[in-house]
Amino acid sequence: MLLIMDGTNSDILTLSRWYRGTDLHLDSILSGGVHTHSAQSAITDSAAAGSAMATGMKTRADYIGMSPDGRPVLTVLEGAKLSGYKTGIVATSPVQHATPAAFTSHALNRDEFGDIGEQQVHQGLDVVLGGGAAWLKPQTKNPVKNDDGMLKTKQVSREDGENLLETIKANQYQLVRKRDGLLNSTGSGKLWGSFANEDISFEMDRRKLHPDEPSLKEMTHAAINKLSEGDKGFFLMVEGSKVDWAAHKNDPVGMISEVLSFDDAVGEALAFARKDKNTMVIAVTDHGNSGLTLGNQHTNGDYKHLPAGKFVEPLKKARLTVKGAVSQLKPDRSNLKKVLTNYGLKNLSSKEFSLMKRAATAEEFENHMVKLMAKRANLGFTTHGHTGEDVFLYAYGPGKPVGLIDNTDIPRVISDYLGFSLTSGKLAHWYVDGMTIFREKGYQVRIEGRTSENPVLVAVRGEEVLRFPENKNFYWRNDEKVMLNSVNVFDGKTFYVHVEG
């Protein structure tokens, strides 16, 4: 099992431990550190970092499961599936987001949620749990708030018009949409849980505002139960996606919410592994974010006199994250004091309260609120973006990695333990240029609908016509549907396929 907490720096782990008041599950399996840089930058994005941990190859920002020169590279999840293991992903973001996408799909742009989602549906995974329902449906209307707090409707559509929820059902998945459905799911077979149109709520907000959504711990537990039904074993990738999202906002409350949520999921993985005695568990972050520090410019002179309570007690007054609190703001702002109190901000000075009243947008509200919280909690932030430090490596079980490693070493360790190689044998060059291969075999080759939303590679030789639709795990030989062990990938120029023989 590989568990990834997105965008997490070391200070937030320390702060979360103080906040909880006990050791973290992670603390018991600390085993080393990990380099996170991408092929082009000392500070990576989640796409390049996720792809490195999925394929064993450094790549460029925004690339999903692609080499630096833009070719699809088989992932450790795909390798495990091809080697007979059950496979699954869990995320609190949309499952089409960068990290889960990097293990399950191939695209030159992480924002291609439509293509990514379609590939995931046709990958044949055994378990998929998370958000992202909007990119499974032909059309979705999402209510969101204008900057003035008023509701508006945002249209989210699959540009190809396909209804992937129907495809999921046709592929014999048990499809669940709410927490109760997950907790009460029974029977064998494949499981797909799509619990939010976009991301699942921050854990602190979820319990109070969205109780129909499951926690990361609950999804991890359900995934392990389902995947462990097989005889051979499984590969599971779990992402605590939203530490990163809170870090981008500089919201320490949200960051703690998601670190502790992730740690609870690690506890589930460790409980299974300790009982099973044959399971490797690796936990890591893909990169730092926000440059959070315990201490700031205002603590230069008195840091020696600041016990842990001076940092965590202001944070414990919050009942919602900054996003959750601001989401409750009424259009006329008549409940502004309640919103501030929900974020732990009581007894504001007249100057501070006046600043809040003048905030023109939800983003301004959030920015002012997190700055007030950081000041009260003696915290510093250096950026709203990613950071490039080495991160902690946590590991447990047979074959576990130790010491200071690179993120590209992670899939090699996993594949070695599972008994296959991504760099040698038939898996090393799995995806090939379909146009070139079929031309070499004497076919006339063309791409139909190259600029459409449903392009198809067509190869014709005599009376035989082969048709490979983009993002699907099959092709047509005349009127016969032939199933494949992987998906067809089109990058706008080249069609990549895998056909035995």
Residues marked as catalytic: 46
* 403-406 and 30-35 beta bridge pairing: parallel
Would you say 468 and 495 are in contact if contact means Cβ atoms under 8 Å apart?
yes
Distance CA 423, CA 431 (A): 13
For 50, which DSSP code? Answer: H
Phi, psi of 255 (to 5 degrees): -65, -45
Question: Which of 90, 173, 177 is CA-nearest to residue 134?
Answer: 177
DSSP string, 4-22: EETT--HHHHHHHHHHHTS
Distance CA 80, CA 410 (A): 14
DSSP string, 448-460: ETTTSSS-EEEEE
Phi, psi of 291 (to 5 degrees): 60, 35
- From residue 125, how far is each of 82, 166, 252, 347, 464 by CA, in Å? 11, 16, 35, 51, 31
Report the sign of the C-alpha dihedral through residues 484, 133, 385, 387, in that order.
negative
Whats the size of the chain, residue-wise? Answer: 501
Would you say 472 and 482 are in contact if contact means Cβ atoms under 8 Å apart?
no
- Within 10 angstroms of residue 438's Cβ, the number of other Cβ atoms is 23
Query: How far from the centroid of its chain's Cα atoms is residue 45's Cα?
Result: 12
- Within 10 angstroms of residue 427's Cβ, the number of other Cβ atoms is 16
Would you say 55 and 72 are in contact if contact means Cβ atoms under 8 Å apart?
no
Phi/psi zone of residue 240: left (φ > 0), alpha (ψ -120 to 50 degrees), beta?
Answer: beta
Phi, psi of 168 (to 5 degrees): -60, -45
Distance CA 239, CA 265 (A): 10
Q: Where are the alpha helices (DSSP H) in 59-178?
A: 76-82, 98-104, 113-121, 164-170
Distance CA 148, CA 445 (A): 54
> Which two structure tokens, joined as six digits, stand for 136?
């499974």
Q: Degrees (nearest 5) of the Cα angle 440, 441, 443?
A: 95
